[in-house]
Amino acid sequence: MSAFEPGRVLSIQSHVVSGYVGNRAATFPLQTLGYDVDVVNTVQFSNHTGLSTNGLVSHSRILTGYVPGAEALKVVAEQIKKMKEMNSGTVYVLDPVMGDMGTGLYVSKDVVPIYKDMLQIASIITPNQFEVELLSGISIDSMQTLHTALRQLHTTNSLPHIAFSSIPLPISLVTTLNLPPPPPSYMRLLPDPIPPWYDAVGMGEPEDETLVCFASTWQDGNMETWAFALPTIRGYFSGVGDLFSAMVLAHFDNPDSQSDLPPLPHAVSKALLTVQQILLRTHLYSLAQTSISGSATPRPLHHSPNEQHSSVIPSDAELDAAVSTNPKDPRRKAKRMRLRELRVVQERGLIADGGQGWPGKALDWQGILEHGL
Amino acid sequence: MSAFEPGRVLSIQSHVVSGYVGNRAATFPLQTLGYDVDVVNTVQFSNHTGLSTNGLVSHSRILTGYVPGAEALKVVAEQIKKMKEMNSGTVYVLDPVMGDMGTGLYVSKDVVPIYKDMLQIASIITPNQFEVELLSGISIDSMQTLHTALRQLHTTNSLPHIAFSSIPLPISLVTTLNLPPPPPSYMRLLPDPIPPWYDAVGMGEPEDETLVCFASTWQDGNMETWAFALPTIRGYFSGVGDLFSAMVLAHFDNPDSQSDLPPLPHAVSKALLTVQQILLRTHLYSLAQTSISGSATPRPLHHSPNEQHSSVIPSDAELDAAVSTNPKDPRRKAKRMRLRELRVVQERGLIADGGQGWPGKALDWQGILEHGL
């Protein structure tokens, strides 16, 4: 890949759901060549090849995300049920986007029971902590309650796979679980020497928190759960969860993406590597653009669940100041927001490469439940 | 790239114009891994970073395509005018999508005068024959009338670049112009031996027609026009023009994509190679899927302008029969349509590679106009 950054394109054309005309014929090829394409869809064709039930049967995988209204979600659920009936091998990844610990619910509350019902048709769900608690009705404050919540989601709904994207846990717990550190391919993306704002897994005080991701599979009456510890770069970057779900879908049961791990931990491991690498590169880019990387001071890493998006990245005011010294410059906000956009196009090499995956570890549930932690 | 075809994904999420959340965070990464993603947008956020005039200024390139209504096109034109005023270096590629020789006009007729007005802010336009004639008011039936039409578009509107996507011309004319044949990198994609349905440039009878693309630049009172002869694979594949326009935008004045040609012929040359290669691979895939490649007989290559989409690819009936032997199978139409979708994701390697470009030749207008052809 070249050092040249081709820049940002605005493309105003039609959108089709399926096939490659209009913006669909332009966007991916431009992105493949490194262009960051902003897409305005003039006409939203509901389909190009007849996206009826008939046309849908050949999808081998389905991914659903943010559907804020109950009526629309009902239609989506009905369609997917039909597709699963016609092809039981379809892999359906359901991201039950409903809210987070900081904000609370950000969809209509009528959506919640529909998602609960949809758990029965999902192959994999990718909830965050708020969504696990909402779907299971169990508040997670220990490994025991985590076990209960996961088990209930699996057994009540015949749900084979849960990719619990992240929950903040005390470093002391992560140390006891003996979760592996970030992989070398990720560490190589860090500046040398490793900057003070970076905190690898478990390097803080025992009472500090770090994020942990869980990949849980129910099979033959047995629950196997893998845990993955994540380093503390928790800047608020939109779309991280969406990218994670898509990458879990991409690497699940993919013959091109094999390893010795079982299917779900493998997919989660690969997804986490991609997401963490892109997050780190986006963070580094943001710091470089604002030219305040030198002055970025380490901040306390105490996170309450309500603050899991708190950040060691520059504040809005710091970013604004870096973008323009004129406080009335209307472009400041737009430019600041752009510094936080995930660099998926620029870092497409990291997506295509995939790497060895993020290291994790299967939990010894019996030991944890019998002896505690 | 692997031989594994990851298959087709249906993704139902939100759409944002700018930034990478929802479907925007999922689609490109999945496509990069080879998935063919059908995209249903649940919520169409008009913007994520504030796509106001303020937010738009940092686009270095703009591409517009199908905007069928006059009111919407007026808004688009106003926005682009503002963006050009704020940044005169912005490259604006305008595809004046209005119709084709076979179908006639397929947008509101009120759109035509708006496009005529917009020629003044375009850097490059990418019209087909119907659109060149409509915008110039000149019917093209000879090299002389082609010269008049191009010259008028350039001079009336201070329009620096015209990429005239294609016009069918008699092979005798192409022979006289001595246009170069397809490049080796393209020929290597053809099966060996070259199948009977394939007709390289100028291989037919003198009165047969072949497609020619023109790249015309006006500079310092001089019009330089390059011509590119295209082989006769003219199956009707939707999105070819949209892909062409996007690739012209991508390769125009792109430091990563240099050659000895002037900027427009260079961009057109690169765009044609990508488009022709993807067309050929899509055609070959379509034939292979229908298992009738052996029986595909060469058809007459006489094309009237009204028939430029006529085809040597299988007929609908042939495709239907190959997809399913049951004539009442409702999936037949959907599957047939899919065989004609451009394989941009599967052939992404051809897009990223770019190659040396499609060979063309600068026209000797003075000789042509003085001595005729």
Four-residue CA torsion sign, B197, B202, B205, B211 = positive
CA B134 to chain centre: 18
Q: Is the pLDDT of residue A193 over 60?
A: yes
CB distance B35–A61 less than 8 Å? yes
Q: Which residue has the higher pLDDT, A33 or A114?
A: A114
Task: Tell me whether B70 touches chain A (CB under 8 Å).
Answer: no
Task: Tell me whether B30 touches chain A (CB under 8 Å).
Answer: yes
CA A293 to chain centre: 26
CB distance A13–B66 less than 8 Å? yes
A243 Cα to chain B: minimum distance (Å): 5
Count of A-B CB contacts under 8 Å: 312
Catalytic residue among B242, B253, B320, B353: B242
Tokens, residue B96: 């004046």
Catalytic residue among A36, A100, A199, A242: A242
Q: What is the mean pLDDT of chain A?
A: 83
CB distance A334–B54 less than 8 Å? yes
Q: Is the pLDDT of residue A359 over 90?
A: yes
Which of B50, B63, B243 is closest, CB to CB, to A334? B50
Which of B239, B341, B348 is closest, CB to CB, to A32? B348
B146 Cα to chain A: minimum distance (Å): 27
pLDDT of residue B39: 86
CB distance B66–A26 less than 8 Å? no
CB distance B52–A334 less than 8 Å? yes
**Which of A9-13, A281-285, B201-205, B329-333 has the highest mean predicted lDDT (pLDDT)?**
A281-285
Site from B1, B8, B12, B97 to mutate, A interface, most A CB atoms within 10 angstroms: B12
CA B149 to chain centre: 20
CB distance B352–A33 less than 8 Å? yes
Four-residue CA torsion sign, B311, B317, B318, B323 = positive
Contacts of A83 in chain B (CB under 8 A): 10
CB distance A342–B250 less than 8 Å? no
Between CA B47 and CA B45 the distance in angstroms is 5
Segment 32-51 of chain A within 8 Å of chain B by CB: 32-35, 38-44, 48-51
Per-residue pLDDT band at A42 (split at 50, 70, 90): confident
Between CA B262 and CA B220 the distance in angstroms is 14
Which of B48, B59, B256 is closest, CB to CB, to A2? B256
Contacts of B330 in chain A (CB under 8 A): 54
Task: Tell me whether A22 touches chain B (CB under 8 Å).
Answer: yes
Q: Is the pLDDT of residue A46 over 60?
A: no
Percent of chain A with pLDDT over 90: 49
pLDDT of residue B337: 67
Instruction: Give the helix ranges, DSSP H, for B215-315.
Output: 240-251, 263-290
Per-residue pLDDT band at A305 (split at 50, 70, 90): very low
Q: For the segment A121-169, what is each residue's pLDDT rounded down to a tens digit?
A: 999 999 999 999 999 999 999 999 999 999 999 999 999 999 999 999 9
Task: Tell me whether B338 touches chain A (CB under 8 Å).
Answer: yes
CB A167 within 8 A of CB A229: no
Per-residue pLDDT band at A366 (split at 50, 70, 90): very high
Between CA B310 and CA B327 the distance in angstroms is 24
Contacts of B26 in chain A (CB under 8 A): 63, 65, 242-243, 245-246
For residue B181, the tally of other CB atoms under 10 A from its CB is 14
Helix A316-323 and helix A331-338: axis angle, to 10°? 110
Domains of chain A (ranges; CATH) run 1-50 (no CATH), 51-371 (3.40.1190.20)
User: Known catalytic residue: B242?
Assistant: yes
Task: Report DSSP state, residue B305.
Answer: G
Q: Is the pLDDT of residue A308 over 70?
A: no
Q: For the segment A74-123, what is each residue's pLDDT rounded down to a tens digit?
A: 999 998 999 899 888 899 999 999 999 988 999 999 999 999 999 999 99
CB distance B64–A12 less than 8 Å? yes
Stretch A274-292: mean pLDDT, rounded?
A: 85
Segment 156-185 of chain A within 8 Å of chain B by CB: none
Between CA A134 and CA A162 the distance in angstroms is 14
Task: Tell me whether B349 touches chain A (CB under 8 Å).
Answer: no
B253 Cα to chain A: minimum distance (Å): 10
Q: What is the 3-state secondary structure (H, E, C) of A264-332?
A: HHHHHHHHHHHHHHHHHHHHHHHHHHHCCCCCCCCCCCCCCHHHCCCCCCCCHHHHHHHHCCCCCCCHH
CB distance B242–A22 less than 8 Å? yes
For chain B, the first-to-last Cα distance in angstroms comes to 47
Percent of chain A with pLDDT over 70: 80
CB B7 within 8 A of CB A61: yes
Task: Tell me whether B356 touches chain A (CB under 8 Å).
Answer: no
CB distance A31–B33 less than 8 Å? no
Instruction: Give the helix ranges, DSSP H, for chain A.
Output: 23-32, 53-56, 70-86, 111-118, 129-136, 143-157, 171-177, 184-187, 240-251, 263-290, 316-323, 331-338, 348-353, 365-371
Tokens, residue A335: 């430019």
CB distance B66–A43 less than 8 Å? yes
Which of A26, A55, A250 is closest, CB to CB, to B33? A250
pLDDT of residue B293: 42
pLDDT of residue A281: 92
Task: Tell me whether A106 touches chain B (CB under 8 Å).
Answer: no
pLDDT of residue B57: 56
Q: For the segment A207-220, what is each residue's pLDDT rounded down to a tens digit?
A: 888 899 999 999 99
pLDDT of residue A162: 98
Q: What residues contact A328, with CB distance under 8 A and at least 6 apart?
A: none
Per-residue pLDDT band at A300 (split at 50, 70, 90): very low
A89 Cα to chain B: minimum distance (Å): 13
Please provide the size of chain B in residues: 373
pLDDT of residue B5: 66
Task: Tell me whether B254 touches chain A (CB under 8 Å).
Answer: yes
Classify each residue of A55-73 as buried b or exposed e, where b means 16 or more C-beta atoms within 10 Å of its C-beta. Answer: bbbbbbbbbbbbbeebebb
Task: Tell me whether A194 touches chain B (CB under 8 Å).
Answer: no
Low-confidence stretches of chain B (pLDDT < 50) are 1-3, 47-54, 292-313
Listed range (A195-204, A352-361, B175-184, B221-230) with the worst mean pLDDT? A195-204
